[in-house]
Structure 1
Amino acid sequence: MPFRAPLTNHHSDGTPCPADHKHTSSGKPLHARCPGRAYTQAVCSCGDWEMKDRGKGYVNECRRRHLADHPEGPKAPRDRLHLDAS
């Protein structure tokens, strides 16, 4: 199963900013009751990586680089066996 690191937007109080709250590229809200995007976060399902920053594009770029560094997935059981034929 491939690893995932979804992007999530958050308000300054740490609450999630719903996907239907649209923003300008600088994070200013276009939704009447939204206080604005304070930061974007990505957490990888591998459990060893997370990123949080004000710049959504920067977090997305780091997320893509991290995911590209992962191997394709777990090897088949036969590939994990190390048998010495000699």
Structure 2
Amino acid sequence: MAAHRAPLTNHHADESACPPDHRHTSTGKPLHPNCPGRSYSQAICTCGTWEFKNSGKGYVDECRKRHLATHPTPAKAPKVLRDLLRLDLP
């Protein structure tokens, strides 16, 4: 079972994605010359039951982390089993 992810993405007012290389001030004003500015941030979990959208990037990130903490972490195989399954090729 893979760990769930909820990547945080930024969006312009027209709902188009704002590329990660576009930097903003803490209020969302653009520092990139061709960017209209961040209107909102969004996170959607791979579990399929949670998504969150808000104008505050920090708030979205905090809620994203809280949601991901509700998912159990995937269990690793016991060390004995991992050692048995390891392929030591010359």
TM over 0.5: yes
Question: Segments of 4+ in structure 1 off by > 6 A?
Answer: none
**C-alpha RMSD of the superposition:** 1.3
Q: Report percent identity of matched pairs.
A: 65
What is the TM-score of this pair, normalised by structure 1? 0.84
Q: Structure 2 regions of 5+ residues with no counterpart?
A: 78-90
Shift of 1:27: 0.3
The one-letter code sitting in structure 2 at the alignment partner of 1:2 is A
How far apart are the structure 1 equivalents of 2:23 and 2:72? 34
Shift of 1:73: 3.5
- Give 3-state SS (helix, strand or coil) of 2:17's partner: coil
The one-letter code sitting in structure 2 at the alignment partner of 1:51 is F
Partner of 2:5: 4
How far apart are the structure 2 equivalents of 1:19 and 1:37? 11
Give per-residue Cα distances to partners, 1:25-75, cap 9 Å, x unaligned: 10000011100000000000000000000000000000000000111238x
- Give 3-state SS (helix, strand or coil) of 1:51's partner: strand
How far apart are the structure 1 equivalents of 2:74 and 2:64? 17
How far apart are the structure 2 equivalents of 1:29 and 1:66? 29
Partner of 1:20: 21
What is the TM-score of this pair, normalised by structure 2? 0.80
Q: Structure 1 regions of 5+ residues with no counterpart?
A: 77-86
